[in-house]
Structure 1
Amino acid sequence: MRERIERTWTQLSPVERRLAELVLEHAEDLAGYTGAELADASGTSKASVSRFFRRLGFDSFAQARADARGLRARGVPLGGLPPDAGDAVDLHLAHDARNLAAAAQALDRDALEAAARLLAGARRVVVAGWRNSYPVALHLREQLLQARADVALVPQPGQTVAEEVASLGERDAFVLVAFRRRPPAVAAVLGHVSGLGVPSVVLADPTARPATAAARHRFEVPVDGPGAFDSYAAATAVVAVLAEAVLARCGARGRARRGAVARAHEALSELEVR
């Protein structure tokens, strides 16, 4: 929106410039306005609002508003909590509670069991995540390491992924964390790994369906937040459920692994003791 206004600024009338200044001021929450509200706030008319957005290259204000909504739906951090929205903490906690309930309802228990068996029994597990997905992938990898060895995280800083996946085969497992605003590499890596015969697990939001169709197991988690930013509370909860299921499937081997890790922590004095 800002780029469109800057390109046409010299062609705008005084009335349109007044509208442009208002739109720039409220660009982040434009999707929440109606044409009448913009007209009232700028002291213009609905007809002026319509002409202004046509000047910017939209068919109508409705198209401009839909464009703004589409950006937010793809995870672009637009908007934010309005000043009169109420207590921000309560709003976030209530929204996360709804996301957690939705994730729990959507979680296929049979698929969870199958994915846990896969990750517990695989020779090697590679977990991949880019951008906002990386911290979730890191957390999953750290939890899986409590239950079993040979769990890698990609990409590491300065690393490409090819070296980590080139030697994977049918006895291994690939976990892709792919929440929205994903790079194109997500689909390419999953496609390559699937072509090698590697069974895969995907943890993502619903927008990832086209990019992750090749996955054997897919768990969809809502990440939308009440304001400008996405929330990963439900994603973290699903990670905990999946890791717990893997630990249970590892049985005595998992208990032995946890004991070995605990002894190593103690020997290295890596964790505080109270």
Structure 2
Amino acid sequence: MRIDERIGHHYPELGPQEQKAADTLLDHLGDLAVYNAAELSRLSGVSKATMSRLFRRLGFADFNEVKEHTRTLRASGVPVAAHEEGDLAAHLAYELDNLRRTFEQLDAGQLTAATEALASAGQLLLIGFRNSFPLALHLRQQLLQCRGNVAAAPQPGQSIGEELAGYGAGDVVLLLGFRRRPAAFAAVLEAAAAGGSTTVLIGDPSARRFAAKADIWLECPVDSVSAFDSYASAMSLMSVLANGVLAVRAKAGRDRIREATGLFSALGELEE
């Protein structure tokens, strides 16, 4: 059980001082690493004994165990409130580091294989659950400018089975597997592969355990100093993939862009 759930469960039975200590823990889950137990006690205005008693009530041996628990939560993608939300310099530094890590560790062979597969697929299905779905939508919008038969799933109200049906040899299923995936994620990847489609998997390091099940694996970190994961580097990778597909498709891609641009003008869809 997460620490916030433990606090919520025990909160009604805590004394006033323990509730103050619990409130302080909840306010500082994202930056507990910068405090020791004595500093946290002073911050909450309670005694060290009260703080220690709270830890035990919550099922932790000591403050070090609490800190390790919160680190594990954040690493799994759980939003943990950070107290440095105004530190834009720290946020920028982390974003730049994510971008650097993404492209320094990117396997050139896997990237080339991914762009060629996306460019040549008969049908292309982009699957993104939860926070990965906006990435799938964005990549679809980019790819549709230079090729057809690109779909994003799961669409609202649809099950993944009916979206995946009909994809097989000559098609590509790209799965965006960023953390806090649904429990059925591995089964979806396996079903796509079993159907004969080429499978491309893109995710943060927590998705490495699925990499062997995919034909192509691209890794992209989403760590952040904030409470929420950042997908800036993932969006940058989507741009690289789309550009690579256009380069592979060459004249066919340029012809489709020209046709789409002409339709934009004919339909008056975009401002001049």
Task: Give me the TM-score of the superposition, normalised by structure 2.
Answer: 0.90
AA of the residue aligned to 1:137: A
In structure 1, the residue matched to 2:68 is: 66
Question: Displacement, 1:6?
Answer: 4.1
In structure 1, the residue matched to 2:219 is: 220
In structure 2, the residue matched to 1:34 is: 36
In structure 2, the residue matched to 1:254 is: 253
| Structure 2 CA distance for aligned equivalents of residues 9 and 136 of structure 1 | 39
Contact 2:140 2:150 in 1 (8 A): yes
Mapping of 1:1-274 within 5 angstroms? 1-9=3-11, 12=14, 15-82=17-84, 86=87, 88=88, 90-273=89-272
Contact 1:205 1:221 in 2 (8 A): yes
Once the two structures are superposed, residues 22-62 of structure 1 have per-residue CA deviations (whole angstroms, 9 ceiling, x without a partner) of: 32443454454322222333455545433321121123222
Q: For the aligned residues, what is the CA RMSD?
A: 2.1
Change (3 A) 1:149 1:61: same
Question: Displacement, 1:14?
Answer: 5.7
Question: Displacement, 1:191?
Answer: 1.1
Contact 1:168 1:196 in 2 (8 A): yes
Which segment is superposed worse, 135-144 or 212-221?
212-221
SS of match in other structure, 1:159: coil
Once the two structures are superposed, residues 104-138 of structure 1 have per-residue CA deviations (whole angstroms, 9 ceiling, x without a partner) of: 10111111111111111111100011111111111
Change (3 A) 1:162 1:53: same
| Structure 2 CA distance for aligned equivalents of residues 5 and 50 of structure 1 | 14
AA of the residue aligned to 1:98: D
Where structure 1 has 5 or more consecutive residues not aligned to the other structure, the ranges are none
Task: Give me the TM-score of the superposition, normalised by structure 1.
Answer: 0.90
Once the two structures are superposed, residues 184-234 of structure 1 have per-residue CA deviations (whole angstroms, 9 ceiling, x without a partner) of: 232221111111121111121111122443111111111111211211111
AA of the residue aligned to 2:65: Q
AA of the residue aligned to 2:252: R
SS of match in other structure, 2:94: helix
How many residues end up aligned between the 2 structures?
Answer: 270
Question: Displacement, 1:13?
Answer: 5.3
AA of the residue aligned to 2:55: F
| Structure 1 CA distance for aligned equivalents of residues 20 and 254 of structure 2 | 67
SS of match in other structure, 2:175: strand
SS of match in other structure, 1:146: coil
Change (3 A) 1:65 1:255: same
Contact 2:29 2:82 in 1 (8 A): no
Contact 2:170 2:197 in 1 (8 A): yes
Change (3 A) 1:21 1:96: closer
| Structure 1 CA distance for aligned equivalents of residues 212 and 159 of structure 2 | 23
Name the % identity.
Answer: 45
Where structure 2 has 5 or more consecutive residues not aligned to the other structure, the ranges are none
